[in-house]
Amino acid sequence: MSIPLPSLLVTFYMSMTGCFLTLPFMIRNRGWENLTLLSQVEWAHILFLGVFVSGIGYWYWGKALEMMDASKVSMFLYLEPLVTLIAAIILLHEKIMFASILGGVIIILGITMVNGQTVSLFQRFLWKRK
């Protein structure tokens, strides 16, 4: 499906749709009362999530969909946990655990397998042995 609009405009419409669909739940649960209880750090976190994660992230996603097939772009979605892990290690000084490293390796292997690169590497390895 192709949308004949710029990716930034599509991102804006997606964000507004999400906001309007979430707003009734905020009103029902009286969520505005809790907004005054947030600290400056928590507001900074919300701003970061809104601008970088939801805004810029989805805008780049839309730009990628303009340039590549959806099947190729969607496989990069699986890199999100790995990028989150790296950001948590750098920004939050989280400890590196074996399970996290193993998960990252599995993610990278899965993406290369879907991309078809692992199969060609495996075939080259077999041909060299014969």
Q: 30-81 pLDDT, tens per residue?
A: 888 888 888 998 888 888 888 887 778 878 887 887 888 877 777 777 777 8
User: For residue 126, how far is the Cα from the chain centroid?
Assistant: 36
pLDDT tens-place string over residues 67-122: 888 777 777 777 778 888 888 888 778 888 999 899 889 988 887 877 765 555 55
State residue 74's pLDDT score. 78
List the structure tokens of 21: 């669909």
- Asked if residue 82 lies in contact with residue 35, where contact means CB atoms within 8 angstroms, the answer is no
